[in-house]
Amino acid sequence: MKQTTYLQWAIENTKTAWWHDSAEPGELECAMRRGAVGATTNPFLSNLALSVNRDAWAGEIDRALSENAEPERKAENLMSIAITHAARQLEPQYEKSEGRMGYVCAQVNPARAADRECMFEMARRFHTWAPNIAVKLPATATGLDVLEDCTAEGITATLTISYTVPQVIAIAERHRLGIRRARQNGVEPGKCFAVIMIGRLDDYIRDVAHDSKAGISESDIRQAGLAVSKRAYSIYRQRDYEAVLLVAALRGTYHMTELAGADIIMSIAPPYQEMLLSEELPRAERIGREIPVDVIERLSALGEFARAYEPDGMAPEEFITYGVTQKTLAQFYEGGWKLLENFL
């Protein structure tokens, strides 16, 4: 009998689903054969998909470039090409799951993370591209306002630039308010996927620990994002939130194996898919295994971890100033959106 891979085991034996982390059609097709039921993208990945498929999408790209739109709208028009191709690939999954899965993320301009009106209008436009678009908004105070309005209008959203327990709680609460508004007006509410960028939190805590000479071990640091994700998941279950946790930015297979069994979505980039297919990994539900108390105590000596781990560690107005937020926004803009604005 052919032995199943870890990825197959997780799909067949746990509640954990996974989305492909790329907008490139060939990669997405391969991932769907492996069991992917959605796609996360960002401006960098959209630009990469356009570059790789320049010849295949030449007509659409040329039409977008010929419109002579201002740079921001040019980037948006180009991004729509990659996103709508992915949406068509995922539409059968969207239909099969009755709208529960089969989404592709379309991210608003990262430079607009504090501009409510601009992000909301972008969200409305992106929503028209396909029925299975999840508009990607930043988990800032502004982004939370836009999330609530989107939910109330029936627009599905993914909240990104998110690393912490207070952020995903705030996301779920604002989504719930949007649901109430939608139902009061007879509208089918938009769905919500709340991201935890698990590896980016680990990276940030590592930098803080090293810079402050805290003496925290690498073993402890590698459990920071897991601690946040497990605590967030426990709270989501206790409060029965409608939003769905989406764990992204993995830094190793342990980020999936240690969350196995959770009713969440994992966003998995191609290199980690290969590892999950080829490596011999422990096949057990581990979501219920708590991070050791002494590890949490050592990590909590760092204020930046405590802000991420404690449910009241930050107010929404502080999310945009959390250390790793501005770095990620800058990377998504400089390494993605700006390249789309200057695409030739």
**What does the alpha-carbon distance between residue 192 and residue 195 come to, in Å, rounded to a whole number?**
10
Reported as a single tens digit per residue, the pLDDT across 123-141 is 999 999 999 999 999 999 9
pLDDT for position 2 = 52
pTM of the model: 0.97
Q: 131: buried, middle or exposed (CB in 10 Å: 19+, 13-18, 0-12)?
A: middle
Please give the span between the terminal C-alpha atoms of the chain, in angstroms, as a whole number: 52
**What does the alpha-carbon distance between residue 79 and residue 103 come to, in Å, rounded to a whole number?**
16
Query: Given pLDDT bands bounded at 50, 70 and 90, which one contains residue 68?
Result: confident
> Residue 3 pLDDT more than 70?
no
Looking at domain 6-336, its CATH architecture is Alpha-Beta Barrel (3.20)
Q: Which of 41-45, 75-79, 277-281 has the lowest mean pLDDT?
A: 277-281
Domain ranges for the chain: 6-336
In sequence order, the 6+-apart residues with CB closer than 8 A to the CB of 171 are 139, 144, 147, 159, 162, 192, 194, 243
Concatenate the DSSP letters of all residues of 186-216 into one string. T-PPPPEEEEEEHHHHHHHHHHHHHHTT---
Amino acid identity for residue 182 in this structure? A
pLDDT for position 4 = 84
Reported as a single tens digit per residue, the pLDDT across 157-176 is 999 999 999 999 999 999 99
> Residue 284 pLDDT more than 80?
yes
Helix (H, G, I), strand (E, B) or coil at 42: coil
Helix (H, G, I), strand (E, B) or coil at 297: helix
